[in-house]
Amino acid sequence: MLITHDTRCSLDAVVDLVNTAPEDDTTDALPDVEALAEFVRKHDISDVGVLSEIDLAAVHRIRGRFAGVFAAQDARTAAALINELVAAAGTTPRLTDHDGYDWHVHYFAPGASVADHLAADCGMALAFFVTAGEQERLRRCEAPDCRRAFVDVSRNRSRRYCDSRTCGNRLHVAAYRARRKESAS
């Protein structure tokens, strides 16, 4: 599947956004306007004005909707959630070549709120996966103590963990130690 630069950026943003949500006993990684401003800077989200508590609340709402896309059991469910997000954002596709990037498509209307910007651009990035029959690549980590979202871009769709160096390695080491303990008994 060909993933353009702007789609990759939107996928990274939506995965990071979903992963800011508190899980079980963790704290919200997007607790205030300053954290939202840092998120906007980190993901180089353009055309965003001064952020407020209203923006933060709206981003929290769409974060939950995006989490539903990653939890969707089938393409129809994912598509319905994506359609709602994109429609509510009032998408206005337009070509742009800002900030030294070649021509690419923005799906948010000029002057849109940060929540509408994320809903439109990230929603369309996820829509490309559903329309390509690749919805199963939108996953949650299979480690028992981790449910972070990720997009599996491996050739054979075999990625199981959000990060093979942390979650994957930790589980492999635990399995190895269990086998060693069992064989020593």
Q: How distant, in Å, are the alpha carbons of 56, 142, 152, 180 from that of 137?
A: 28, 13, 5, 34
The three-state secondary structure class of 157 is coil
Please tell me the number of Cα atoms within 13 Å of 35 on its side-chain side.
15
Contact indicator for 14, 62 with CB cutoff of 8 Å: no
- DSSP code for 147: -
pLDDT per residue, tens digit, the chain (185 aa), is 678 888 899 999 999 999 999 987 778 999 999 999 999 999 989 888 899 999 999 999 999 999 999 999 999 999 999 999 999 998 888 888 877 778 888 888 888 899 999 999 999 999 999 999 999 999 999 888 888 999 998 888 888 888 867 787 676 676 667 777 777 77
Joined together, the tokens standing for residue 69 give 């896309």
Amino acid 172: pLDDT: 67
Q: How distant, in Å, are the alpha carbons of 65, 78, 109, 123 from that of 81?
A: 7, 5, 20, 9
Contact indicator for 139, 31 with CB cutoff of 8 Å: no
The whole-angstrom distance between residue 73's C-alpha and the CA centroid of its chain comes to 17
- Compute how many other C-beta atoms are within 10 angstroms of the C-beta atom of residue 120: 25
The dihedral through the CA atoms of 87, 64, 81, 69 has a sign that is positive
Report CA Rg, the chain. 18
120/97 Cα distance (integer angstroms)? 18
